[in-house]
Amino acid sequence: MKIIKHISIILLLLTTSITLAQVKFEAKVSKQKLGINERLRIDFEMNKDGDNFNPPNFSNFTVVGGPNQSVSNSWINGVRTYKKTYSYFLAPKKRGNFTIKQATITIDGETYKTLPLNIQVTAAVDKPKDPNDANFIASENIHLVAEVSKTTPYLNEAITVVYKLYVSPTIAVDNWNEIDSPRYNDFWSQNINTQGQKVQNGTYNGKDYRFLILRKAVLYPQKTGKLNIEPLTLDISLRVPSNRRDIFGSLLMTRVNKTVSAGNKTIHVKPLPEAGKPVDFAGAVGDFKLDVIASKRVLDASESFQVKVAVEGNGNLKLFKLPKISLPSSLEVYEPEHKEQVKTNLSGMRGSISDSYTVVPQYKGKYPIPSISFSYFDLKTETYKRLSSDEIIIDVLNGPTNNTTSGTSDGNPISNVKQRVVLNNDQFAFIKTKTDFVSTKSTYFFKTNLFWSLLLSPFLLIPLAIIVRRKKASRDADVYGNRIRKADKLAKKYLSNAKKSLGKKEAFYIALEKALHNYLKARLHIETNDLSKDKINSLLKEKQVDDRVIKDFIAIVKNCELARYTPIDIVTMQEDYDKAAKTISLIDKQAR
């Protein structure tokens, strides 16, 4: 009987060891049938750690979360149980029957694969509203709203869109990132500066909220018909109250990440009416006034003057061209200089635009600058209006007579027919290109303030040079201080990329982990594939680094591995960055 009993124990131990030696790698889903408005969780579980995990291509789903990584170890009756899980959260793109293909991983040199999973996606289903679910609480208490000033504007009429984030007083926002910015296709657009905006109190759907204005934009539609304003989308880290309380009776807060969108906005742009539209209408819409000004009205031939055509008011000032002036052929006209003095705020563009022409008369006489007309569409009366300038007469007193043009009895030209202007070689004779001016007062350098400053400055710099040299010698002799400064500089060098990514969770922890690995590779002269935690521990101990510093370094490496898959706010990222900089500095000072 004893022999049989011993054989049974041996067989049991062998069976247990064989069972423990079996590697399991499988995929599990939260449900195999779901509505298109629901989310699917898929877990890839293994009972032994491996390398080169490759998830399947979720081609018919959008990954809205993950991969989240979790590891558990347990001992039951002296038997160790290990489980590692990669979790993804998926949103279906359309209805239908889909297959989630195999995931692969390498364990002890062998490649393992999961079995394919069939998923059925149906039409949208009614979701149960769980008042204790953190995501449901967040969705009910935070809203991103786009407020459009007018949904039926005319072509080239200004409208504004203001994005407001409404947050219930019961929840707290830690941080947000803009993950999708609106592209205002078919609009001329300009963003209005919203820096320095303060949180305000208001109401949304009849409830009290706090709100912050995130963005303002002025839009001028450039097409008629149905136009779409794309949404602004944010990823927000926030804390919502849970149904648990601390020992003092206060509600405990739960961290959650929420994606909110302002939604698409549609406006219907009306065309400008055809009835009464002037022939010379150039697209100006708003309220304007016209000015035509000549800098001189009496001058001599070959002198120049400026004619300024300006439109001032409120409207689409940057989106139309000014009318051209028409001058007699005996006036030489240069290309105009265009100027814009326009400010854009929530009421649209306001200011003035102008074309300034330089004009040079060649002959004496009286020259008319004809009246200029400018047409625009007035939004207040919804009618077209025409503005006209007064005729300006330019009187050229002295200069050659133009015999090629017919004139009045006093010899004044009256023809407005354009002719080629014949230039002579002396047209700029009145401009002197060489001068021989001589100062009326002689100056000498000797005994001037500059003379004495240059003379005495070398003597004044000698004490300063001595002080600098002593400071440098003292600094060079401070071996311990130099070592501290060198270590701090080295920490900043390796962590520079991580510091640039502060606020962007995944990019920050990837850069931080890479910085730690690169530092050890350079400091301990080891390859990246040798950076196991046990190896790091033994090598740092050989370098006589304190156990506490080693423990802190390994803890930061673990944080980098896990933090990328869990919600982290910017305060925690800053703490991990400061801890990493301090630890690198301590290792560099202690390592022998």
**What does pLDDT average to in each consecutive run of 10 residues of the chain (592 residues)?**
51 46 85 83 88 88 82 74 86 88 90 92 70 78 92 95 92 86 90 87 90 93 93 88 68 83 91 92 94 92 92 94 88 92 91 94 89 94 94 89 53 45 53 65 74 82 83 69 58 72 77 78 64 75 81 81 70 81 80 72
Q: Which residue in this structure is represented by tokens 């003092």?
A: 248
Tokens for 159?
């409208």
pTM reported for the whole predicted model? 0.50
DSSP tag of 533? H
The number of beta carbons lying within 10 Å of the beta carbon of residue 134 is 19
pLDDT of residue 530: 56
Alpha-carbon torsion angle 280, 285, 287, 292, nearest 10? -40
Tell me the C-alpha distance between 43 and 57, whole Å.
15
pLDDT of residue 409: 37
Taking alpha carbons only, the member of 102, 254, 266 closest to residue 170 is 254
Q: Which residue in this structure is represented by tokens 């304003």?
A: 229
Edge to edge, what strands does the sheet with 392-396 contain? 298-299, 392-396, 365-369
Tell me the C-alpha distance between 575 and 565, whole Å.
18
Taking alpha carbons only, the member of 239, 38, 67 closest to residue 127 is 38
Position 425: which residue type? N
Element (H, E) at 159: strand 159-167
Q: Which residue in this structure is represented by tokens 């909110």?
A: 260
Fold held by 288-398: Immunoglobulin-like (2.60.40)
Taking alpha carbons only, the member of 239, 234, 262, 265 closest to residue 252 is 239
pLDDT of residue 18: 44
**Domain boundaries, given as residue ranges, for the chain:** 25-122, 134-269, 288-398, 479-590
H helix runs in 2-104, sequence order: 2-21
pLDDT of residue 417: 43
**Strand, helix or coil at 539?**
helix
Tokens for 584?
């690198």
**Strand, helix or coil at 472?**
helix
User: Please, which residues bridge with residue 203 across strands?
Assistant: 208
Fold held by 479-590: Four Helix Bundle (Hemerythrin (Met), subunit A) (1.20.120)
Which CATH code for domain 25-122? 2.60.40
Cβ atoms of 41 and 135 within 8 Å: the answer is no
Q: Do domains 25-122 and 479-590 have the same CATH topology?
A: no
